[in-house]
Amino acid sequence: MTAWAWLIPALSIALLIGAATVGVGSVLAILCAAGLIGAVIAAVHHAEVVAHRVGEPFGTLVLAVAVTVIEASLILSMMFAGGADAAVIPRDTIYAAIMLICNGVVGTCIVVGGLAHHEQTFRVEGSSAGLAALMALASLSLVLPSFTTTASVGTYSTSQLWFAAVTSAVLWAVFVFVQTVRHRDYFLPVEGSSSGEHAAPPTAREAWLSFGLLLVCLVAVVGLAKMLSPSIERALIAAGAPNAVLGIVIAMLVLLPETWAAVRAARANRLQTSMNLAIGSALACIGLTIPVVALAAIAFGFPLVLGLEPKDLVLLAATFLISAVTLGSGRTHIMQGAVHLVLFAVFLFLAFVP
């Protein structure tokens, strides 16, 4: 293992400890931002080492689950901190993550891969199954609360929260079973789509070491992001940005490792890996986060608003419709990526100018 692969995680954790001890000043904020970027790069490296050892689709699942667990922890910490906006932070973050993944990440991967290889292929069977599960989970978690009548608009009653938590976890677990056991071949790269032979797989010791360092990097990413959040909030207030923009910033920071890994895979003509990361991350984002957030809201009596506003419902519906077209043929080119990126630009613009 090269020196930077363990040195960067160590320095990032040291910066996190220093920021938590003395506070984040202007100089330390710059260092923390640099440490955050370094931790993202190191996280992708270690995730790729683990993925090379265990193979697809287990490798992409490791990164998706690790990032999502820490994302849920970050959301919970903000809910415990309270504040006027705590009730909508889970909704805004999950919705932003879906839009970022389904439009920003998928669009960027398709454009980058299309520019490098003209046309790329992936397996429709796995991607369509994942998209169907994602549409069902998003409808249950973010759409239905705006239309149910037992509780106030945008919220679920306690029994409805229990139902949403259980069904979300079950559906995600079934998808993981299909992805890793029953129909694993649906998520393997199309024959001939790889850019070439890989190096020899790492040893078990190297893989376990990289897995441990991956967790360290992810903790550093989320911890440094949380330390930088007051500075980010002040910048958003100074810019007059709406409160929903905070959820976008959180999602972007937490999903940086997966985004980087997915784009690199597309550039290397491994679009199947990019799709596994994107769809798997979006599913884990809902399937793991909603049960945790719902149980916390029930146990501690937190207010929780999940239902999206009408504008966001339209964008979510358009995203799923366009995604169904993109994932329907198993082949991609830059036009499809451009459509997703334009839709992502619309999402960002309307977040600042609602």
Instruction: Mean pLDDT check: name the lowest of 79-93, 122-136, 185-199.
Output: 185-199
Listed in sequence order, the residues at least 6 apart from 331 whose beta carbon sits closer than 8 Å to its beta carbon are: 119, 120, 121
What pLDDT, on the 0 to 100 scale, is given for residue 196? Answer: 45
What pLDDT, on the 0 to 100 scale, is given for residue 153? Answer: 86
Q: Domains of the chain by range and CATH?
A: 57-194+242-352 (1.20.1420.30)
Residue 304 has pLDDT above 60, yes or no: yes
If one compares 56 and 310, the residue with the highest pLDDT of the two is 310
What pLDDT, on the 0 to 100 scale, is given for residue 197? Answer: 45
Q: Mean of the pLDDT values across residues 112-140? A: 92
Residue 100 has pLDDT above 90, yes or no: yes
pLDDT tens for 184-238 read: 888 887 665 555 445 567 888 888 898 888 888 888 877 887 787 777 777 777 7
Contact 169, 283 (CB under 8 A): no
If one compares 272 and 233, the residue with the highest pLDDT of the two is 272
Whole-angstrom CA distances from 278 to 154, 299, 316 are 27, 31, 16
At 25, is the pLDDT very low, low, confident or very high (cuts 50, 70, 90)? confident
Q: Mean of the pLDDT values across residues 149-157? A: 90
At 348, is the pLDDT very low, low, confident or very high (cuts 50, 70, 90)? very high
Alpha helices in the chain (DSSP H): 3-22, 26-54, 58-81, 89-99, 106-117, 124-138, 158-177, 204-239, 244-254, 256-267, 271-300, 310-326, 334-352
What pLDDT, on the 0 to 100 scale, is given for residue 308? Answer: 93
What pLDDT, on the 0 to 100 scale, is given for residue 194? Answer: 55
In whole angstroms, what is the distance from residue 2 CA to residue 4 CA?
A: 6
Tokens of residue 314, six digits: 């339209």
Instruction: Determine if residue 304 is left, alpha or beta; phi over 0 gives left, psi from -120 to 50 gives alpha, anything else beta.
Output: beta
Average pLDDT, the chain: 85
Q: Mean of the pLDDT values across residues 64-92? A: 75
